[in-house]
Structure 1
Amino acid sequence: MDFQLQDTVVLVTGASRGLGAAMAVTLAEEGATVVAAARSKDSLDDVAARGQGRISVEVVDMRDETAVSGLVDSVVARHGRIDALVNNAGIAAAGTFAEQDPQVWKDTMTVNVIAPMLLAQAAGRKMIEQGHGRIVNIASTTGVRGKPHLVGYSASKGAVVRMTEALAAEWAAKNVQVNCIAPGAFATDAQKAVLESPDLLQRRVAKIPARRMADAAELMPLVCLLVSASSPFTTGAVFVVDGGESGKL
């Protein structure tokens, strides 16, 4: 399917590795002009090198609210507009809740909730002016079902899900679609410890009805669809992609 992204300017955060890098590269391969944002310039440069000349980079720390607030303006200054935003950047600090430092929660909320909010707000203003736009928030299955030892992460991703739904309703009449993807277990750098341990991998896969972890490529058609103008009536949706894990008892 041709997603017709040739004239689409997309900002992807957390684009230096894992799913974010795959999103940036895939969108560029589909013809989009992509701005890849993350903390690591070297990793971003590697991603840009795979983007057929369609990926530029922005080095930004999602904990820096001032830098985050100016990111959309930087994209617009460079390309004249912003058609889509993919809020992918996130952190997941594991730990025992009763002993967890409140600062861990503050950092998690800053990166996983405040940064996407600031970006959605800034991008949304531009999109409303333009008369169109798409925002894709990347949550997690932990935002749909809570997970032990990831209480802060679960809470933050639950907030992203609710933000998506409320914002979609608020901006639907403005022709700005806001949707959410909640990935499950994907074989990326984020799962390195699991992938490198046969015992951990076996136990993790046993929880998934599909009996395997997913490849990043399996998420890309959905990302492209939601970033494109092909689904203008799809907004406020939460797409769980987890091999059936969150749907079982």
Structure 2
Amino acid sequence: MELGLRDTVVLVTGASRGLGAAIAVALAGEGAQVVAAARSKDALEEVAARGGGRISVAEADMRDEASTLALVDTVVSRYGRIDGLVNNAGIAPAGKFADQDPAIWRDAMQVNVIAPMLLAQAAGRHMIGQGGGRIVSVASTTGVRGKPYLVAYSTSKGAVVRMTEALAAEWAPRNVQVNCLAPGAFKTDAQSAVLESPDLLRRRVAKIPAGRMADPDELVPLACLLVSPRASFTTGAVFVVDGGESGKL
């Protein structure tokens, strides 16, 4: 099915590796002009090299609000519009809650909640002005069901889910669709400790009815669909992609 993404302009954050990189490359493959954003320019350039000339890069730090907001201005300055935003950048601090420094919670909220809200607001203003657009935020299954030792992460991703639902209802009359992906266990750098330990990997996979962890490319088709005009009546939805783990009793 043709997704209608050719020559649309999409900003993807956290695009230097993992899920963000896979989404950026796939969108470029569908004909979109992608701006891939992250802190590491070298890693971004490697991703851009896989984009067939349709990925440009932009350095940004989600901890810095000015840097975050400048991203949307950069996209519009380069291409004159912004049709899609994929809020993928995030951090997942782990540890015993009773021992954690509150600074860790604030950092997680800044990167995982405040930055996506700032980008959604800035991009949304342009989308409304041009007649529509689509925002997709990458949350987590821990934002749907809390997980021990990831309290700050779970809290922040739960906030992203609620933001998605509320903003979708507010902007549906303006033809801006807002949706959320909640991935489970994917083979990314964030899971390196699990992937490199046969024992940890065995225990992690035992919790997943599908019997394995997923490859980043397995999130890509849904992400591309939600960024496309084909999803024009889909808004406020949270799509769990976890091999059945959240549904297991």
- TM-score w.r.t. the length of structure 1 is 0.99
SS in 2 for 1:230: helix
- Matched residue, 1:218: 218
In structure 2, what residue type is equivalent to 1:68?
T
SS in 2 for 1:90: coil
- Matched residue, 1:65: 65
**How far 1:7 sits from its partner (Å)?**
1.9
SS in 2 for 1:85: strand
In structure 1, what residue type is equivalent to 2:170?
E
- Matched residue, 2:191: 191
Whole-Å separation in 2 of the counterparts to 1:215 and 1:66: 33
- Matched residue, 1:129: 129
**1:1-249 correspondence to structure 2 within 5 Å:** 1-249=1-249
In structure 1, what residue type is equivalent to 2:209?
P
Alignment gaps of 5+ in structure 2: none
Whole-Å separation in 1 of the counterparts to 2:196 and 2:244: 23
CA RMSD in angstroms comes to 0.6
Whole-Å separation in 2 of the counterparts to 1:221 and 1:110: 28
Whole-Å separation in 2 of the counterparts to 1:17 and 1:216: 10
- Aligned pairs, how many? 249
For residues 69-114 of structure 1, what are the alpha-carbon distances to aligned partners after superposition, in whole Å with 9 as ceiling and x for unaligned?
1210110000000000000000000010000000000100000000
For residues 3-62 of structure 1, what are the alpha-carbon distances to aligned partners after superposition, in whole Å with 9 as ceiling and x for unaligned?
121121000000000000001111101111000000000100000011100000000110
Structure 1 stretches of 4+ with a deviation exceeding 3 A read none
In structure 1, what residue type is equivalent to 2:93?
A
- TM-score w.r.t. the length of structure 2 is 0.99
Whole-Å separation in 2 of the counterparts to 1:2 and 1:9: 16
Whole-Å separation in 1 of the counterparts to 2:5 and 2:128: 19
Whole-Å separation in 2 of the counterparts to 1:2 and 1:233: 17
Whole-Å separation in 2 of the counterparts to 1:113 and 1:146: 16
In structure 2, what residue type is equivalent to 1:230?
R
In structure 1, what residue type is equivalent to 2:104?
V
Whole-Å separation in 2 of the counterparts to 1:9 and 1:209: 37
In structure 2, what residue type is equivalent to 1:97?
F
Alignment gaps of 5+ in structure 1: none
Whole-Å separation in 2 of the counterparts to 1:220 and 1:66: 29
